[in-house]
Structure 1
């Protein structure tokens, strides 16, 4: 059980780190004319229950999906439609997901350490 929790936690760390990379790339290129922003979309790993990953489709260019809404009027003035407010919100969500995954890894590590101590 601890091994599967460790695997799930590391999968969450990796997926959230990649999502942070996508958001950082979008922010870094917010003023680049012609830049096509990307959107991170998570999907369950296979087999089910073993973690999460970014889908290949989730990293596709999504200029049509990343249209500015009323909450992000700054995106309307950007040459490529990157919404800085939505990117900031996404970054906070990915950071929280990363921290939660790190806690899962830490708990699995502690459980494995206890298991190894008991058996020796």
Structure 2
């Protein structure tokens, strides 16, 4: 169980960091004409309880003088959410590690 929790936490950290990186890219390109930011979609991994994965819908650079499709308010808010998600996943890893260490101490 503890090793499964480590995997779940690790997948959560990975997904959170990828989403945070995507938001940072969108914010950095907010003034780029025609920039369309990728959309982040989280989904559970199979089997159920196996963690989380992330999917990014493709970015494209439109031709012409179209303004950027970046919504700064949404991306900044999402960055805070992704940061908190990553910290929560790190807490899962820390707790799982402590639990596994306690189990090993009991069995030793």
Q: CA RMSD in A?
A: 1.6
Higher strand proportion (structure 1 or 2): 2
Larger RCO, structures 1/2 (Cα 8 Å, 6+ apart): 2
For 1:61, the equivalent position in structure 2 comes to 58
Q: Which runs of 5+ in 1 are unaligned?
A: 64-77
What is the CA-CA distance between 1:62 and the residue it aligns to?
Answer: 6.7
Q: Which runs of 5+ in 2 are unaligned?
A: 61-65
Residue 99 (1) aligns with residue 87 (2): yes
Distance 1:2 1:98 in 2: 19
Distance 1:81 1:36, change over 3 A: closer
- Regions of 4+ moved over 2 Å: none
Question: Could you list the per-position Cα deviations for residues 48-99 of structure 1 after superposition, in whole angstroms to 9, with x for gaps in the alignment?
Answer: 11111102xxx11378xxxxxxxxxxxxxx8212111100110111011111
Q: TM-score, normalised by structure 2?
A: 0.89
Counting matched residue pairs gives: 103
